[in-house]
Amino acid sequence: NAGVTQTPKFQVLKTGQSMTLQCAQDMNHNSMYWYRQDPGMGLRLIYYSASEGTTDKGEVPNGYNVSRLNKREFSLRLESAAPSQTSVYFCASSDRLNQPQHFGDGTRLSIL
């Protein structure tokens, strides 16, 4: 039972490069989320998708775009990477309202 799968697990980019972080869940969940985790700041929501076909901005959306490709997949794109985007990125999904979120194991992204 895979749960939430994130690829890649690690990535190093140069400033200005672009890349897409992939996330897929196999639990038939409606809602999916992207967070970034930085030391001392906890998890901050970047974007979320309450259901297939919808996306909303979270707390820190600048510099990112998302695509809810289908019910299973929710990708996060950095168009022009900046050193401030060095972080650990987590994808999560949840089913019905007030149910807990299930997290992937993260993508560790370094931007030089």
Partner 1 sequence: AQSVAQPEDQVNVAEGNPLTVKCTYSVSGNPYLFWYVQYPNRGLQFLLKYITGDNLVKGSYGFEAEFNKSQTSFHLKKPSALVSNSALYFCAVRADSTSGTYKYIFGTGTRLKVLA
What gap in Å lies between CA 4 and CA 92, rounded to an integer? 7
The residue among 33 and 74 lying less far from partner 1, judged by its C-beta, is 33
- DSSP-based three-state secondary structure for 40: coil
- Rounded to 5, what percent of the chain is helix, strand, coil? 5, 55, 45
Our finding on whether 90 is near partner 1 (CB under 8 A) is yes
Report, in Å, the least distance between residue 10 CB and partner 1: 10
Which listed residue (54, 80, 84, 110) binds partner 1 by CB under 8 A?
54
Would you call the peptide bond into 100 cis, given omega within 30 degrees of 0 as the criterion? Answer: no
Q: What residues from 7 to 36 belong to the interface with partner 1 (CB under 8 A)?
A: 31, 33, 35
What gap in Å lies between CA 109 and CA 105, rounded to an integer? 13
The residue among 25 and 85 lying less far from partner 1, judged by its C-beta, is 25
Stretch that binds partner 1, among 13-21, 61-69, 74-82, 89-97 (CB under 8 A): 89-97
Our finding on whether 104 is near partner 1 (CB under 8 A) is yes
Angle at 48 between CA 25 and CA 45, to 5 degrees: 110
By the criterion CB under 8 A, which residues form the site for partner 1?
Answer: 4, 31, 33, 35, 40-45, 48, 50, 54, 56, 58, 90, 92, 97-98, 100-106
